[in-house]
Amino acid sequence: MTDNVNVGLLGLGTVGTGVVKLIQDHQEQLVHQVGCPVSIKKVLVKNIDKSRDVELSSDFLTTDPYDVVNDPDIDVIVEVMGGIEDTRQYIIDALNAKKHVVTANKDLIALYGSELQKVAAENNADLFYEASVAGGIPIIRGLADGLSSDKIQKMMGIVNGTTNYILTKMNKDGLSYEKALSDAQDLGFAEADPTSDVEGLDAARKMAILARLAFSMDIELDDVSVSGISNVSKNDLKYGSMLGYTMKLIGYADQDDSRAEVSVQPTFLSNDHPLAAVNDEYNAVYVYGEAVGETMFYGPGAGSLPTATSIVSDLVAVVKNMRLGVNGRSALAPQFEKQLKTSNERFAKYFIRLHVRDEVGAFSELTKLFAQHSISFEKILQLPLEEEGVAEIVIVTHKASLENYENVLEQMKDLSVVKSVESFYRAEGDGAK
């Protein structure tokens, strides 16, 4: 039996500080949960002399990562430093040294999660990463444990708080994209360089992790189709609202007959959809299982203590496994060969906003093109513009294949009645399969 568990931290930034606080302040609860004390043994920092919000003697601090990785008294490594290549090597070395690893590093897990799980299994070590997706929401454990007996058919997630805050402010307060982004940066929700968030890259990494776990396929980051919100306009949101939709940046993962698709894109959700009411910096993941039906996980997607809570929950799981002698047995290789849907197997509704010449026969030309590609209309708006002789048309299609939809978008450029295609987005109904 383990009498004491020693933890080494790689990183002591916002999240690392939260981890130390929880371990220090919740020691009594931790002992009750795992049956022994859990102690911080060594922490990697950039500057030992820096003033910090937690009480740690300088004897606990180091600037050399291998003082943590190679310490024989450390049982569990908690990685909260970020980065990819160097961090990957530290984690591999820690696992090969029979140490268990808890990480919040979504970039690393999205790119190298399968490799690291293999190394962990070879060494009878645990590798847990709950905090890599959606901060304090227990979605990883929910999929791995709570829904493990079900077949997950579909997931839709708001997994990036920055973009959700921006779209909420544009929707509810009428702000421009530029103003909403600036406010998000002022509040600390967005980085000085927001590219990873607003172009969908952050969300794509998280969806790769979720899809890999939910579908038991080796889904890679390159398998995720990605587009961001930087081109979303107030007019798009206004017309979407008129048609009963709210826009969110949605991570989407779906499988039919063991063929999967994964994407991240701005999406108009029906106001009845459970994700449509998730606002500001909050995250949520909607999961549709063959047996359970609809479920949704909701909560804070970032922040020091919410994210630290997920990390310490993983730490508790590691220590329980240590005391039972079952570390390394939870990692399973993908069950199914990866098969991705082709564009003619991917179906959705679509929102398209056009400027067309306001003349007799214009709409029939559009209708003819859509009909040639077996796409019918569910909703239509036609509005006059200040520019004489030009009308604005907004179309929401019935479900159509991605292949036909892309062909229509391409061929509309050659129609003389179409002056411009202003915008186009995926649209979703009430979430049912």
With CA atoms as reference, report the closest residue to 330 among 127, 104, 91: 127
Q: What is the dihedral of CA 297, 283, 234, 431, to 10 degrees?
A: -20
Report the alpha-carbon distance of residue 199 to residue 226 in Å, rounded: 8
**Catalytic residue check, 41:** no
Report the alpha-carbon distance of residue 219 to residue 262 in Å, rounded: 9
Angle 35-18-12 from CA coordinates, rounded to 5° = 110
**377 CB contacts (<8 Å, ≥6 apart)?**
367, 370, 395, 396, 397, 398
Report the alpha-carbon distance of residue 134 to residue 140 in Å, rounded: 9
Q: 170 — phi, psi (to 5°)?
A: -65, -40
With DSSP H G I counted as helix, E B as strand and the rest as coil, what are the percentages for the chain, rounded to 5?
40, 25, 35
Report the alpha-carbon distance of residue 171 to residue 75 in Å, rounded: 48
Tell the burial category of 415 from Cβ atoms under 10 Å away from its Cβ (0-12, 13-18, 19+).
middle
Q: Which member of 206, 248, 341, 419 is catalytic?
A: 206
Length of the chain: 433
Active site members? 206
